[in-house]
Structure 1
Amino acid sequence: MKIVVAEDQGMLRGALSALLDLENDFEVIGQAENGKQALDMICALSPDLCVMDIEMPEMSGLDVAEKLKELLHPCRVVILTTFSRSGYFQRAMKAGARGFLLKDSPIDELGAALRTVSQGGRAVSPELALSFWETENPLTEREQEVLRLAAAGLTASDIAGQLFLSAGTIRNYLSEAIQKLEAKNRIDAIGIAEKNGWI
């Protein structure tokens, strides 16, 4: 089973690759330090699996999973994370990720999960599964997009220009998001959405 490991922390990337290489049925054929490099490597080397961190420079693990799904690439994605954010999990599953595991899982647990995924199954850390199903993302895709742009520092008029909508419509989306998240204001709404991994 050919694997690409994508993780921006060099020591962790090296250790993980070395441990996976010790298994008879695994072969680490590439190590990527950011999401863009991971995507290029997957397209060039066609691994069976990619073990990927979520928060990486250039493209996040979720961005890469979404791109692979769009390209109909057969590589199966397993997300490794330190974050138990329900929004991340929902986005990962929507992007077609086959596994979602905590970084501090024992290596034999990771090995078993990768074998399950390679055989067409899914693998989710039990500690994560429970918390994920409890918190459903209340925001529509458009509200998430507007909040993401607001988080990047854009004004309502800037966002309106970018999305080809009126500034009034953008203000409506923002106030909807603020209400749904029971936030005090736009900044609070952005904070809540980021904490849950919804934007």
Structure 2
Amino acid sequence: MLRGALAALLELEADLTVVGVAGDGDEAVRVASDAAPDVCLMDIQMPGMDGIAATQAVRAASPATRVLIVTTFARPGYLRSALDAGASGFVVKDAPAEQLADAVRRVHVGLRVVDPALAEASLFDGANPLSERERQVLRLAADGRSAAAIAAEVFLSAGTVRNNLSAAIGKVGAANRAQAVRIAQDKGWI
């Protein structure tokens, strides 16, 4: 419903044309590859391939296409990940329609667009302190898996997984793994 509403709002703009819509990351990559749009609007959390991976794939499949992240998940870690993946902008879905259309236009001409409140939060929250392995084990720990179960999935020893979880807990300033997961999710680091 929201996807259709965004498309309809953008179609009301005389200088903007919607050339395709997609329901998940994999479909977004296919549509962008086929249609080669000037600007692709992308969400962060979608079924299948997430918006960060889909942004990288869209940029690889259609290098001239610029990606604008439009999401309800305004988290500093997501902003950094999106920009690292090749996104040209990051705005929140509750922005007024005029702001969204203006963001599309600005990204189209090669400018970067970042929600001001999110940019401020990113500056003051700092960069993601977690290594890729620490992010991986925290993501797997999010559903309550034991260190042994995580170890079996990522082909590490249970001791190495416990060390990575301990390091992540310390880096995010948490008291335990559940709190570390929650903090990392809230900041968009996992």
Same fold (TM over 0.5): yes
| Selected match of 1:76 from 47, 58, 66 | 66
The answer on 1:53 being equivalent to 2:39 is no
Which residue pairs with 2:91 in the alignment? 101
Q: Deviations over 1:85-135 (max 9, x none)?
A: 111111111111111012122222222211111111100121221112111
| Selected match of 2:32 from 30, 42, 50 | 42
Q: What is the rounded CA distance, in whole Å, between the counterparts of 1:69 and 1:146 in structure 2?
A: 28
Q: What is the rounded CA distance, in whole Å, between the counterparts of 2:35 and 2:74 in structure 1?
A: 30
Q: Deviations over 1:51-109 (max 9, x none)?
A: 12222222222221133345563321101122321111111111111110121222222
Offset at 1:149? 1.7
SS at match of 1:18: helix
Which residue pairs with 1:114 in the alignment? 104
Which residue pairs with 1:190 in the alignment? 181
Unaligned 5+ residue runs, structure 2?
Answer: none
Which residue pairs with 1:62 in the alignment? 52
Q: What is the rounded CA distance, in whole Å, between the counterparts of 2:37 and 2:150 in structure 1?
A: 39
Q: What is the rounded CA distance, in whole Å, between the counterparts of 2:3 and 2:100 in structure 1?
A: 14
Q: TM-score, normalised by structure 1?
A: 0.86
SS at match of 1:36: helix
Q: What is the rounded CA distance, in whole Å, between the counterparts of 2:63 and 2:148 in structure 1?
A: 38
Which residue pairs with 2:6 in the alignment? 16
Give the letter aligned to residue 171 of structure 2.
Answer: K
Structure 1 111/194 Cα, relative in aligned 2: closer, same or farther at 3 Å? same
Q: TM-score, normalised by structure 2?
A: 0.90
Offset at 1:153? 4.2
Number of residue equivalences: 189
What root-mean-square deviation, in Å, do the aligned CA atoms of Structure 1 and Structure 2 show? 1.8
Offset at 1:160? 2.5
Q: What's the % identity of the aligned pairs?
A: 49
Unaligned 5+ residue runs, structure 1?
Answer: 1-9
Q: Which has the higher strand share?
A: 1
The answer on 1:33 being equivalent to 2:12 is no
Give the letter aligned to residue 192 of structure 1.
Answer: I
Offset at 1:159? 2.6
Q: What is the rounded CA distance, in whole Å, between the counterparts of 1:31 and 1:72 in structure 2?
A: 16
Q: What is the rounded CA distance, in whole Å, between the counterparts of 1:91 and 1:139 in structure 2?
A: 13
Q: What is the rounded CA distance, in whole Å, between the counterparts of 1:92 and 1:191 in structure 2?
A: 20
Q: Deviations over 1:14-67 (max 9, x none)?
A: 221122112222110111122222122112221111112222222222221133
Q: Deviations over 1:126-159 (max 9, x none)?
A: 1221112111222112211111122244432233
SS at match of 2:168: helix
